Amino acid sequence: MKNISVIGSGTMGNGIAHTFAQFGYSVNLIDINQNALDKALQTIQKNLDRQVLKGTLTEEQKSETLQNIKTFTSIESGVKAADLVVEAATENIELKLKIFKDLDAFAPADAILASNTSSISITQIAAVTNRGDNVIGMHFMNPVPVMKLVEVIRGYQTRNETTEKIMVLSESLQKTPVEVNDYPGFVANRILMPMINEAIYTLHEGVAGVYEIDTVMKLGMAHPMGPLQLADFIGLDVCLAILKVLYDGFGNPKYAPCPLLVNMVAAGKKGIKTGEGFYEYANGSKDLIIAGKFKKS
């Protein structure tokens, strides 16, 4: 595999494009408008600069990486020579089903179609194509150039050969791929989201404040960041959407989203992206300025 097309140039798409390009793949990065693509290229450049500063990449490798990325605003022209397409567009089922119908129509018949979805069924996505056995989940973690894991999700129809190719490809990016089956939340979010939800319930019930809950998990469990801060990083709306997928998919009340989470999303407090979640953030910066208003004095 040499030619990789990436659909969506947001948080994940630009990281996925960056990573493939850094390891010598030729990348077509596709989004709906040129502004999003220009912003993505700036982000990639900034992240590459950081790698050069840290000494993990040379200036020459940085410019080779940038040269490996081309941008497109049309799926049809961006995927026509693809060996693999990785879809990382907005987490919305109708949108993803539409994109996969287009990919099936425009990508070469033997191209593998992968989705980076956090929670949508790979089997359902595969079912709108005529190549269900060549559709798979490639769940990268944020920030993609740094995080080692790729959760490789086999849909109901995914064939062994496709899974094997994606495992080998992920290793070529110096990632560690882990194969899992297609059930709600896969493994990562099935375990992570109930923990975050429980942390929100713990806050909601007044057991402890934001700072205390996060400190217990950071210092007591050696987590690099507390679950409430992590929720702010992921986006509270995204957490809520994934919990709903778990709740609907399993029909089990243990996955019911905490009412406090539902209220905060309804109030527009979605975490870093809106400047406030469990913590407040200055001008969209990731720097925590104060432990949020739920902190007990």
Q: Does 158 bind ligand NAD (CB under 6 A)?
A: no
Triad 29, 159, 117: Cα angle to 5°: 40
Q: 57 or 114: whose CB is closer to ligand NAD?
A: 114
**The two structure tokens encoding residue 28:** 């077509």
Annotated active-site residue in 118, 121, 134, 170? 118
Catalytic residue list contains 171: no
Triad 270, 227, 188: Cα angle to 5°: 95
- The letter for the amino acid at 212 is E
**The two structure tokens encoding residue 25:** 């793949």
Cα 269 vs. chain centroid, distance in angstroms? 20
Stretch that binds ligand NAD, among 1-9, 17-25, 59-67, 246-254 (CB under 6 A): 1-9
For residues 195, 197, 203, 206, the Cα torsion angle rounded to the nearest 10 degrees is -100
Q: 98 or 159: whose CB is closer to ligand NAD?
A: 98
Catalytic residue list contains 130: no
Catalytic residue list contains 160: no
Q: Does 193 bind ligand NAD (CB under 6 A)?
A: no
**The two structure tokens encoding residue 147:** 């995080």
Give the separation between CA 222 and CA 24, rounded to whole angstroms. Answer: 35
* Contacting residue, 48, 69, 89, 210, with ligand NAD by CB under 6 A: 89
Q: Does 68 bind ligand NAD (CB under 6 A)?
A: no
DSSP run (H or E) holding 179 = strand 176-181
**Smallest distance from ligand NAD to CB 55, Å:** 27
- The letter for the amino acid at 171 is E
Catalytic residue list contains 68: no
Q: Does 227 bind ligand NAD (CB under 6 A)?
A: no
Q: Give the sheet arrangement for strand 3-7, strand by strand.
A: 69-72, 26-30, 3-7, 84-87, 112-115, 135-140, 149-154, 176-181
136 to 155: interface string for ligand NAD, x by CB under 6 A: ---x--x-------------
Give the separation between CA 105 and CA 29, rounded to whole angstroms. Answer: 18
102 to 131: interface string for ligand NAD, x by CB under 6 A: --------------xxx-------------
- Asked whether the beta carbons of 230 and 196 are under 8 A apart, the reply is yes
Q: Cβ-closest residue to ligand NAD?
A: 10
Q: 59 or 76: whose CB is closer to ligand NAD?
A: 76
Annotated active-site residue in 151, 170, 197, 276? 151
* Contacting residue, 91, 104, 182, 232, with ligand NAD by CB under 6 A: 91
Q: Does 11 bind ligand NAD (CB under 6 A)?
A: yes
Judged by DSSP in three states, 129 sits in coil
**Smallest distance from ligand NAD to CB 296, Å:** 29
- Asked whether the beta carbons of 129 and 107 are under 8 A apart, the reply is no
Q: 209 or 235: whose CB is closer to ligand NAD?
A: 235
Give the separation between CA 113 and CA 168, rounded to whole angstroms. Answer: 16
Q: 48 or 138: whose CB is closer to ligand NAD?
A: 138
Q: Which residues bind ligand NAD (CB under 6 A)?
A: 7-13, 30-32, 36, 88-91, 95, 99, 116-118, 139, 142, 234
